[in-house]
């Protein structure tokens, strides 16, 4: 068991004590995605200055797709923040057999899906 000072702060999102100062109470991992989510929320299609980080592909510069892309970016940042939080909960909590099994079993590699897609086209 690790003994910590009561004054030591933890991340507002994931609860880790590995926190960098000057990041509004978030750890370095979470802060990056908090900033990205805030930046995307400020996107306005008619104002090019707000589109920092928006895809540069010409097909994306269409008002029809703008809201879908914006919503997808916000959702992805939220998913990543939840994932970081869950990893930290598992890291600080007790470890059970399922945690060990999920880390030790090999995951399906991408080539399996590519091969299935190629076979589907034939």
Task: Dump pLDDT digits (tens) for 3-37.
Answer: 555 566 888 898 888 776 557 888 888 999 999 99
**Residue 47 half-sphere exposure toward CB, CA atoms < 13 A:** 7
Does this model's pTM top 0.75? My answer is no
Q: Which helix (H) or strand (E) holds 118?
A: helix 110-121
Question: What sections of 5-109 are H helices per DSSP?
Answer: 28-41, 63-92, 97-104
Closest CA to 75 of 30, 36, 122, 121: 36
Cβ neighbours, 10 Å, residue 87: 13
Domain residue extents for the chain: 8-87
């Amino acid at each position: 068991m690790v003994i910590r000072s009561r004054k030591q702060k933890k991340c507002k999102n994931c609860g880790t004590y590995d926190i960098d100062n000057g990041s509004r109470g978030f750890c370095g991992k979470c802060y990056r995605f908090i900033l990205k989510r805030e930046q995307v929320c400020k996107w306005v299609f008619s104002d090019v200055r707000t589109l920092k980080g928006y895809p540069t592909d010409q097909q994306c510069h269409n008002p029809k797709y703008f809201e879908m892309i914006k919503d997808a970016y916000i959702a992805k940042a939220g998913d990543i923040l939840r994932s970081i939080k869950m990893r930290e909960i598992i890291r600080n909590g007790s470890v059970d057999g399922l945690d060990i099994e999920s880390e030790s079993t090999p995951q399906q590699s991408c080539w399996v899906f590519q091969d299935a897609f190629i076979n589907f086209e034939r």
